[in-house]
């Protein structure tokens, strides 16, 4: 225990702490780069020892020359392996929000501000058995890498540490460095498959067919029997059939009394919490797809009727963080 405590006190002043997050740009200085021989390097060291013993036993001058030449090459390889990773500048990029079950994408930027090109830099999260991304960074150049993390639950996703490693040029040594960017991904609840229709005035309705021609309420998917005059040609022109585009019909409501309200309290309380959140998520997406203004109520969160990207993002964020301490 005394030796361990001494090592912690000795190295704690210059080694980065494992649990700390690296905010902003981080430069891989000497204190952040580690290097050790690989299996090939250990085997090469054993070979050098055998050559040295043979040269001593038989007094071979050429044996000494070969041994020390090979040793010099190994030392040069160690220096070049370290230089291939040192002084790289790392910075976090964009992290888009995803739904549970999708893969969260973390964008990482690597800048090389030196005149030395870098080759064979492997990048991935430390909990991944084998690195999946390799990058070459030209002198005074940069590279961007997308690292994926599978998601299973809603809320904030804090990824594991990023590990950068290299064995360039000969593979006798492995240099590596850890980096834990202060970034996280927001994971929305998984949309429910086969959810009930959208509620109007807090009550479930059918397919949402037009009840009149007084007030325009949005657009919906084309259904057999719809009049060609009610086709939303402007929205149809924006849809790409190659991306799953389809015909849409203008939706009219007969009066102002039919208000679309997505109220979490109106859902059956015997349903599982995550199922209710998934249903609300599906309703938000369906209302946005049909361009229907909708009010949103979730606990203390109340949003007036509206639609659009900002309104949808606010509602999905409230669903993702519902019941969590980080919701504030």
Domain range summary for the chain, segments of one domain joined by +: 8-187, 199-327
Residues in contact with 118: Cβ distance below 8 Å, sequence separation at least 6, in sequence order: 84, 85, 88, 112, 136, 137, 166, 168
Angle at 80 (CA atoms; ends 75, 82), nearest 5 degrees: 100
Q: What pLDDT, in 10s, does the model give residues 151-185?
A: 999 999 988 889 999 999 999 999 999 988 888 89
State yes or no: pLDDT of 237 exceeds 80.
no
Q: Answer yes or no: are the C-beta atoms of 211 and 269 closer than 8 Å.
A: no
State yes or no: pLDDT of 325 exceeds 80.
no
pLDDT of residue 326: 47
CA 57 → CA 31, 52, 141, 190, distances in Å? 42, 9, 52, 72
pLDDT class of 284 with cuts at 50, 70, 90: very high
Q: Rounded to two decimals, what is the model's pTM?
A: 0.70
**Helical spans, DSSP H, in the chain:** 2-11, 39-58, 61-83, 233-238, 273-289, 309-320
Q: Answer yes or no: are the C-beta atoms of 303 and 311 closer than 8 Å.
A: yes
Is the peptide bond prior to 77 cis by the omega test (within 30 degrees of 0)?
no
pLDDT of residue 257: 45
From the CA atom positions of the chain, what is the Rg in Å?
30
Query: Residue 56's CB: how many other CB atoms inside 10 A?
Result: 12
Q: What mean pLDDT comes out for the span 262-270?
A: 88
Q: Which residue has the tokens 């659009």?
A: 308
Query: Residue 142's CB: how many other CB atoms inside 10 A?
Result: 15
With CA atoms as reference, report the closest residue to 283 among 262, 268, 301. 262
Q: Whole-angstrom Cα distance, residue 317 to residue 276?
A: 15
- Percent residues over pLDDT 70 in the chain: 74
Angle at 85 (CA atoms; ends 80, 25), nearest 5 degrees: 155
Angle at 205 (CA atoms; ends 201, 206), nearest 5 degrees: 160
pLDDT class of 327 with cuts at 50, 70, 90: very low
State yes or no: pLDDT of 16 exceeds 80.
no
């Amino acid at each position: 225990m005394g030796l361990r405590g001494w090592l912690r006190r000795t190295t704690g002043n210059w080694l980065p702490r494992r649990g700390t997050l690296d905010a902003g740009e981080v430069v891989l200085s000497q204190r952040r780069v580690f290097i050790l021989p690989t299996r090939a390097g250990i085997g090469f060291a054993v070979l050098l020892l055998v050559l040295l013993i043979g040269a001593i036993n038989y007094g071979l001058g050429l044996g000494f020359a070969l041994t020390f030449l090979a040793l010099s090459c190994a030392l040069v390889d160690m220096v070049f392996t370290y230089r291939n990773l040192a002084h790289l500048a790392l910075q976090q990029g964009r992290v888009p929000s995803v739904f549970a079950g999708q893969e969260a994408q973390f964008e990482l930027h690597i800048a090389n501000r030196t005149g030395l090109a870098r080759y064979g830099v492997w990048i991935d999260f430390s909990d991944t058995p084998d690195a999946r991304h390799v990058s070459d960074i030209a002198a005074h150049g940069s590279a961007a890498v997308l690292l994926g993390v599978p998601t299973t639950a809603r809320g904030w996703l804090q990824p594991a540490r990023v590990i950068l490693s290299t064995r360039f040029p000969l593979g006798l040594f492995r240099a590596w460095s850890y980096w834990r960017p202060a970034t996280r991904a927001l994971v929305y609840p998984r949309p429910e498959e086969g959810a009930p229709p959208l509620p109007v005035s807090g009550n479930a309705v059918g397919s949402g067919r037009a009840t009149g021609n007084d007030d325009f309420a949005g657009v919906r998917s084309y259904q057999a029997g719809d009049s060609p005059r009610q086709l939303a040609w402007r929205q149809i022109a924006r849809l790409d059939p190659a991306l799953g585009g389809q015909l849409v019909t203008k939706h009219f409501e007969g009066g102002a009394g039919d208000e679309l309200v997505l109220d979490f309290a109106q859902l059956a309380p015997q349903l599982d919490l995550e199922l209710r959140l998934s249903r609300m998520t599906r309703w938000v997406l369906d209302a946005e797809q049909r361009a229907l203004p909708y009010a949103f109520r979730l606990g203390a969160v109340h949003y007036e009727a509206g639609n659009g990207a900002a309104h949808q993002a606010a509602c999905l964020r409230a669903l993702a963080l519902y019941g969590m301490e980080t919701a504030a």
